[in-house]
Amino acid sequence: MTAKKVTGSQALILSLLEEGVDTIFGYPGGAIMPVYDALYDFKKEVNHILTRHEQGAVHGAQGYARVSGKPGICFATSGPGATNIMTGIADAMIDSTPLVCITGQVASPLLGTDAFQESDIVGMSIPVTKWNYQITCAEEIPEVLAQAFYIATSGRPGPVLIDLTKDAQFGELDFEYEKCTKIRSYVPETHVDPQQIKAAAELIDTAKKPLILFGHGIIIGHAEEELKTFIDKTGIPAAWTLLGLSALPTEHELNVGMLGMHGNYGPNVLTNEADLIIAVGMRFDDRVTGKVSEYATNAKVIHIEIDPAEINKIIKADVPIIGDSKKALKMLIANVAENKHDDWVAEFKKCDATENEKVWQKDLYPTKPGLTMGEVIRITSEKTNHEAILVTDVGQHQMIAQRYFKFKNSRSNVTSGGLGTMGFGLPASMGAQFGAPDKTVVAVIGDGGFQMTIQELGTIAQNNLPVKIIVLNNNFLGMVRQWQEMFFEKRYSFTELQNPNFIMIGKGFGIDGHTVSERENLEDSIQKMIDHDGPYLLEVTIEQEDNVFPMVPTGASVSDIILEA
């Protein structure tokens, strides 16, 4: 393209447009004001979402990225603006979510002088970014932005942060843009080793009790069809991590449920009976493994992972396969024999029958007077034909929602996994709605997490986003309370909440809603919420001591899973 003279701020916006950016979440301030002034002239080309807090902006960008597959973009000013996005950046880092975060910074002559609203955001963000860089002259902007997008989206995705000094924003340059496709010394993806594929295929073909564990890497790698084909060909049961949910349809006959602390009975207890574990795009998080020394004790392990740092980090791999999940699965499909494991699959069905009797019926079809989280999730999933995008906050409601909401389509589950960020749900749901405007987005949030970012109701209202918000209200920090009940002799230390009138707050922002507390009104209330044109807030009063089971206690083996109190 022909070079043209522009300011650094204009170069930033033009660079974003070259990368196909159509949505930005942000909050203006003094140190990034030149960028916002430049953005004024590009209102038709890009949609800027003014959030009510910088944390809302970064979580909104996360929600957008997770459902769209494109990097989320976040703007913040220097000092407190920049530090306010750190939680979301850390969340995106551990959950491999691609973000490009732009922060304003004081002018370069003032760096290190403790100037007004100066903070060393580059130094602070090093541990929680895939890459960061401070731009001090305008000429650097196009090249650095191109590298930022390449790094954020290639290999194992993650957040990058670009800190832009005020003088760089005002400076001038001859603008030319070239997308980045390679950086010396940065190798985001290695070629899959065919010998390792053959070794894995031999183990798969001879295994009697194999189990597939799939995670977020399937969705990131667009490997959903390959996963399904691999499962169908080999007849191997498959279980999912929290972020792997929705990669395989819930109703697939070999989908055996969720792994981990509050996962399903079968995938947990049968892990130690498996003779082969095939882990694809997951990292053996502690919430999955429980006590590591007693995890998968009888199994050989095949680990397919794009990030070499995750291989052998927690669980030793007998056959490590480093590379893209889609490519690795394609190669495996070509090398494995068709098979069935009917007797092994039947063991999972027996576990399901046990869990159904002890847990599912109580959660989903309760006979006690108070409403349960499970029945709310079941009805909501049914009313949306299992096609909605589910966004959850963090806590008991999160685990219940992941367990009982059903999915037909990938990229339909948005939650904070590795960091477990309360306050994530509401802003992430608005980001998800921008990322998938034609989909029904349902946000399920606890009363505690809701109050951490409740101000983003203003953003939802201002943009008339048709997000359906369900607040499950038990007047407690429910997950902490459950642990206090089970492991601290019911000493409920500072977990009870005196909550406001959520419906009045919603209406104050211009969002309609109502409260339901009786079972006979629940189904109609959920239908009313779904049918409403625009955003809607449904508060559901649930039992205070409605607990989440099954549960693997901290430090216990997955074989020690508890089905009831």
User: Distance between CA atoms of 366 and 399, rounded to whole angstroms?
Assistant: 18
Give Cβ neighbours of residue 183 (< 8 Å, ≥ 6 apart).
Answer: 147, 150, 151
> Is 504 among the residues known to form the active site?
no
Please give the Cα distance from 564 to 359 (Å, whole number): 7
Closest CA to 210 of 285, 298, 82: 298
18 as an active site residue: the answer is no
Residue from 105, 104, 100 nearest 147 by CA? 100
Q: Is the bond leading into 267 cis (omega within 30 degrees of zero)?
A: no
Which strands form 23-26's sheet, in the order they lie side by side?
47-50, 23-26, 72-76, 99-105, 159-165, 131-135
- Residue 268's nearest CA partner among 246, 296, 243, 293 is 296
Q: From the candidates 4, 116, 172, 487, give the one annotated as an active-site residue.
A: 116
Of 18, 33, 42, 117, the catalytic one is 117
Nearest Cα to Cα of residue 409 among 259, 242, 251, 221? 251
116 is catalytic: yes
Give the residue from 410, 373, 391 showing the smallest Cα distance to 465.
391
Residues 6 or more apart whose CB falls under 8 angstroms from that of 552 comprise 260, 261, 262, 263, 268, 290, 558, 560, 561, 562
Residue tagged active-site, from 261, 452, 479, 529: 479
Secondary structure (DSSP) of 253-320 = TTEEEE-STTS-HHHHHTTTT-SEEEEES----HHHHBSGGGSSTT-EEEEEES-GGGTTTSS--SEE
**Residue-wise DSSP of 215-252:** -HHHHHTT-HHHHHHHHHHHT--EEE-TTTTTSS-TT-
Q: Which active-site residues does the annotation give?
A: 54, 116-117, 166, 479
